[in-house]
Amino acid sequence: MKIDVKHVADLARLKLSEDEMRRLEKDLESILLRMERLKALDVEGVEPTFGAGDVQRLVLDQDRPAPGLPREEVLKLAPSSEGPYVSVPREGTPGDAPQGSE
C-alpha cells in the first residue's frame, strides 16, 4: 500500500525535507502492513470496540461548575501571550481554515 506522505504532512502542518519524507514513507508503510495483517483476522460476529478499557457506556457528570486553572498559569504554558490573551502566529489568511466550530 502506497501512502501520500506529502498530503499527510500538509494536513499535520509539518514541513519535511525530501529525506525525511522518504524515511517516513517507509515507516508508515510498515505500520500499514501491520494493520493489513490485523485485517486478515476473522472478526465475523465480533462487536467493534472503539476504546480500550472496560467502560462501554459513557459516564455522565453533573453540571456543576468547578474552578479551572488560574489565568497566569495558563498564559505561562503558552509559547507567547499578550495581555489576557494567548497569542499565536496568524494561521494563513483569515478564514483559510475552518473558523470556529463547523
- Count of positions on this chain that bind other proteins (CB under 8 A): 43
Alpha carbon distance 75, 72 (integer Å):
5
Closer residue to other proteins, CB minimum distance, 45 or 92 = 92
Alpha-carbon dihedral sign for residues 40, 42, 47, 51: negative
Q: Do residues 28 and 14 touch, judged by C-beta distance below 8 A? A: no
| Stretch touching other proteins by CB under 8 A, among 19-27, 30-38, 47-55 | 47-55
Q: Which residues contact 75 (CB under 8 A, 6 or more apart)?
A: 81, 84, 86
Distance of CA 56 to the CA centre of its chain: 23
Q: Does 46 bind other proteins (CB under 8 A)?
A: no
Should residue 38 be labelled a site residue for other proteins when binding is judged by CB under 8 A?
Answer: no
Determine the interface stretch with other proteins among 15-23, 27-35, 36-44, 79-87 (rule: CB under 8 A): 79-87
The piece of 17-25, 30-38, 71-79 that touches other proteins (CB under 8 A) is 71-79
